[in-house]
Chains A and B, each alone.
Chain A
Amino acid sequence: MAEVSNNQNRHNAMQTQGHSLNKSLPEIRKNGHKSRPVILRMEKVCKYYGSHTVLDDVTLNIRKGDIFALLGGSGAGKSTLLKILAGFEQPSSGRVYLDDEDITSLPPFKRPINMMFQSYALFPHMTVEKNIAFGLKQDKLPAKEIKSRVEELLGLVHMEKYAKRKPHQLSGGQQQRVALARSLAKRPKILLLDEPMGALDKQLRSKMRLEVVDIIEKVGVTCLMVTHDQEEAMTMADHIGIMHHGCVIQQGTPIDIYEAPNSLITARFIGSVNIFEGNITSQAADHVVIESNPLPTKIYIGHGITAALESTKVWVAVRPEKIELTKEKPIAEYNWAQGIVDDIAYLGAHSVYHVKLPNGMIVLCNVANTARSAERPTWEDPVYIHWEPNVNMVLNS
C-alpha cells in the first residue's frame, strides 16, 4: 500500500514538473500508474545484424495511457526497437505482445500501431486532407465517415485552414501536426514517435513538445517515443527507459531516473553530474563512509547500501545543483572540499561554477543568482564546496 501511494506521489510530482499546462488529463492518467493494465509487452527481444548485436534481451512493459520515452544515444538500438514494434523489422528472438496477443510476425499493415516518422514521411503528392485520410481509406471506411473523421483530426491539430495544401506548402511545425493527425487517424492502440522534434528548429521544439503532448493526452493514446534529447524525454514522457548498447538499463519516471540513477551511464546521460571515485571504509545499516582521493574529507552517505558489493570500489554521484558553494569553511565533518574558481558559466537564473580541487579535478556547482554579483565568488577565488549527506548517490557500476 505504502509503495503504491508513494508511486502515485511521484507520478503526480512528475506531472507538475513535466507538463503542468495540461488541464484536461483523461481519467486514465489520474489513476495510479501501477493500476493500469500493461498494453505492450516486449519479451527478451534480441536483434542481431550478423555478429553485431543491436538489441540485447530487451524486456519492456508499457502501460495503457503511458507516454513512454526511450532515451539513448545514436547506436543504442532505439530505432531498431521502434522498427520492430512497427513491423518493419523482425526480432532475431523474443516476442512482442499487444494486449496479450502475439504480434511479433504480424506485417506492419495489419498492426493497430501507427508511427509518426522522424522526417514525417508525408506523401508529397497528396493534400493534407488526403494524407490524413490515407489510413482510413485502407480500412475501406465509407466516404462520409472518412470525411468527418478527417475534419475532426484537422480540428484536433488546428489545421482546418490547410486541408487543401500540399505538404511542401507547410512549415515544419505544420507538417508535424499533419503527421501527428495522420498517425492518429486510425485510432491506433500504440502511437510510435520517432525523434518527434528532430526535424524542428530549437525555438519551435519547446512549443511543439507541449502541443504534441497535449494532443496525445486529449486522445488518450498510449505512446512510445524514441529520442536522443533528454530534455524532450523529461518534458514529454511520464516514463523513461534509458537505452545503452542495445539494453534498457533503467526505467522509471523522469524523477526516478534523475534522482536515483542506477548506474554511471544513466547518471551521466541525464543532466550533468560530478562523479567521485572512492572506496568504502566503513559501512553500517544507516550510513556508509567513503574515502575518495580528490577530497580531503570523507564522503558520508546518509543511507545504507542494500546491493551486494563485489569490491569496496564505488562511485559517488552528486548533481551540481545539490552542491553548496561558500567562501567560509563548512563546519561539517564530511562532504566538503576546498578549491579555487576555475571558470564561471553565467546562465541568467543561475551560474555554473567550475571549481578546481587541489588534485586538478573540476567539480561543477550551480549557484542561483539571487545575491548581488559583487557578493558572489569570482575567478580564482578560494571557495569551499559542500553537500548534504542525503543528496549523493552511490553507484557500483
Chain B
Amino acid sequence: MNTSSSTEKKIKSRLKGTGYFALAGIPAVWFLLFFLIPFIIVLKISFSEADFSIPPYTPLTQYAEHILNITLNFTNYLSLLSDNIYLYAFISSIKLALFSTVLCFLIGYPVAWAISCTRQSLHGLLIMLIMLPSWTSFLIRIYAWMNLLSVNGLLNSFLMKIGIIKEPLIILNTNYAVYIGIIYCYLPYMILPVYNSLRSIPHTLTEAAKDLGARPAKAFFKITLPLSKRGIFAGAFLVFIPVIGEVMIPQLLGGSQTLMIGNVLWQTFFNSNDWPMAAALAIMMLIILMVPIRLFNRMKATEELIRE
C-alpha cells in the first residue's frame, strides 16, 4: 500500500505542470464527449413528452414572446413507478443478474483455481482457451445456442438418440436458455480476475497452513478463499453490471415470460417510438447500477483488474 502511494507521488511530481494535466485531460475529454454530454441529452429527453415529430419528442425549452418556458415533464418517471411492468422488469433483471453472478462464481471459481494449480507453462494456453470463444462474433455464438437448444436441435436429438428422454425438452425461449446463454457469455469475466488473484497467492501460504495442522480443505477456506476475495468481487461486478442491461441474450434465447429491463427499453424505443420513456428507463437503470458500481470501487476491485 505504501509503495503504491509513493509511486503515485513520484509520477505526480514527474508530471508536474502541463504534462500532468494533458495526461489527465485525455480521459476527462473522453468522459465529457462520450458520457457526460450524451447523458445530459438523455436526461433532457427523459423530461420531455413523446410527439409525432422529428425528433419524436417535445422540446424542453420554448422561447415565445420574449419569455423562456421550460417544461419539465415528470410523467415518464411517474409511470415508471406506477406501471407494474417496469418494476417487474427491474426486479426480474436484478434477480437474473444475481443468479447468473452466483452461478458464474460457482462454475468459474473452480475453473480458475484448477488453472492456477497447473504448471506455470500451461497457464497461458488455458487462459487463451477460456477466451477463445469470445473471438467469434457474439451474435453468431447466440445463434449457435439457438440451434443447439431448439426443439429439433442438437441437444434434444442427441438426448433422444441415446434414450435419456422420449419427448424433446423445451429449453429455447425459456429462462433456462437465458441463463445458459448469459453464463456461457460472461463466465470468462469471472474466471479471469479470480485466476489473477489466485495466481498472486504464494503457494507457501497454503503449505504453511497445512504445516500448522490445517487439512487441505481447511487451508483452502481459511487462506486461499479469503485471499482471492478481491478477484471474486471484481468478477462478480464484471458479470452483474452488464447482465442487468443485457438485451440480445434474453431477446434471442428468452421467451414470453422473460422480461428484462434492457428489452423493455429496447421495445419502448424502437417499437413504441417513445423516446422520453426510454430515456427515463435508461436514467433509472443507471441510478440502480450506481449501487454496485460504488461497491465495486469501494472494494478496490479495480486493483485486481489492473494488477500485473
Q: A residues engaging B (CB < 8 A)?
A: 86-88, 107-110, 113-115, 117-119, 121, 123-125, 134-135, 138-139, 168, 182-183, 185-186
Instruction: Among A123, A124, A135, point to the contact of B213 (Cβ < 8 A).
Output: A135
Q: Are A109 and B202 in contact (CB under 8 A)?
A: no
Q: Are A125 and B226 in contact (CB under 8 A)?
A: yes
A124 to B209, CA, bound (A): 12
Q: Are A108 and B211 in contact (CB under 8 A)?
A: yes
The count of chain B contact residues (Cβ–Cβ below 8 Å) is: 19
Q: Are A121 and B204 in contact (CB under 8 A)?
A: yes
CB distance from A65 to the nearest CB of B (A): 22
Q: Mark B194-213, 1 if CB is under 8 A from A, else 0.
A: 00000000101101111111
Contact residues in A for B213 (Cβ distance below 8 Å):
109-110, 135, 138-139, 186
The reply on B215 being an interface residue by CB < 8 A is yes
Q: Are A108 and B210 in contact (CB under 8 A)?
A: yes
Contact residues in A for B209 (Cβ distance below 8 Å):
123, 134
A134 to B212, CA, bound (A): 7
The reply on B264 being an interface residue by CB < 8 A is no
Q: Are B205 and A123 in contact (CB under 8 A)?
A: yes
Q: Which 5 residue pairs are nearest across A and B when measured between Cβ atoms? A: A138-B213, A135-B212, A121-B208, A121-B204, A108-B210
Q: Are A108 and B205 in contact (CB under 8 A)?
A: no
Q: Are A182 and B212 in contact (CB under 8 A)?
A: yes
**A110: nearest chain-B partner, CB-CB:** B213
CB distance from B304 to the nearest CB of A (A): 15
Instruction: Among A108, A110, A113, A121, point to the contact of B202 (Cβ < 8 A).
Output: A121
CB distance from B199 to the nearest CB of A (A): 15
Contact residues in B for A125 (Cβ distance below 8 Å):
226-227
Most buried by A among B212, B215, B218: B212
Contact residues in A for B212 (Cβ distance below 8 Å):
109, 114, 134-135, 138, 182-183, 185-186
Q: Are B211 and A119 in contact (CB under 8 A)?
A: no
Q: Are B204 and A117 in contact (CB under 8 A)?
A: yes
Q: Are A168 and B205 in contact (CB under 8 A)?
A: no
Contact residues in A for B214 (Cβ distance below 8 Å):
109, 134, 138
CB distance from A117 to the nearest CB of B (A): 5
Instruction: Among B202, B218, B227, point to the contact of A119 (Cβ < 8 A).
Output: B202
The reply on B1 being an interface residue by CB < 8 A is yes
Which residues, 212 to 234 on B, are CB-close (under 8 Å) to A?
212-216, 218, 222-223, 226-227
Chain B interface SS verdict (over half):
helix
A115 to B218, CA, bound (A): 18
Q: B residues engaging A (CB < 8 A)?
A: 1, 202, 204-205, 207-216, 218, 222-223, 226-227
Q: Are B227 and A109 in contact (CB under 8 A)?
A: no
Q: Are B211 and A115 in contact (CB under 8 A)?
A: yes
CB distance from B221 to the nearest CB of A (A): 12
The 29 listed contacts between A and B (C-beta, < 8 Å) are A86-B207, A87-B210, A107-B210, A108-B207, A108-B211, A109-B210, A109-B211, A109-B214, A109-B215, A114-B211, A115-B211, A117-B207, A117-B208, A119-B202, A121-B205, A121-B208, A123-B209, A125-B226, A125-B227, A134-B209, A134-B212, A135-B212, A138-B212, A138-B214, A138-B218, A139-B213, A168-B1, A183-B212, A186-B212
Most buried by A among B211, B213, B214, B215: B211
CB distance from B200 to the nearest CB of A (A): 10
Instruction: Among B211, B215, B223, point to the contact of A123 (Cβ < 8 A).
Output: B223
Apart from A114-B211, A121-B202, 4 more pairs, CB < 8 Å: A109-B214, A109-B215, A115-B211, A121-B204
Most buried by A among B204, B213, B222: B213
CB distance from A223 to the nearest CB of B (A): 15
A114 to B222, CA, bound (A): 18
Q: Are B227 and A88 in contact (CB under 8 A)?
A: no
A124 to B207, CA, bound (A): 14
A123 to B214, CA, bound (A): 13
Contact residues in A for B216 (Cβ distance below 8 Å):
109
Most buried by A among B202, B210, B215: B210
Most buried by B among A87, A119, A125, A183: A125
Contact residues in A for B204 (Cβ distance below 8 Å):
117-119, 121
Contact residues in A for B218 (Cβ distance below 8 Å):
138
Contact residues in A for B222 (Cβ distance below 8 Å):
134
CB distance from A116 to the nearest CB of B (A): 9
A124 to B202, CA, bound (A): 11
Q: A117-B204, A138-B218 are in contact. Are A124 and B227 (CB under 8 A)?
A: yes
Q: Are B227 and A115 in contact (CB under 8 A)?
A: no
**B206: nearest chain-A partner, CB-CB:** A121
Most buried by B among A110, A113, A118, A138: A138
A183 to B214, CA, bound (A): 13
Most buried by B among A113, A114, A134, A168: A134
A221 to B216, CA, bound (A): 27
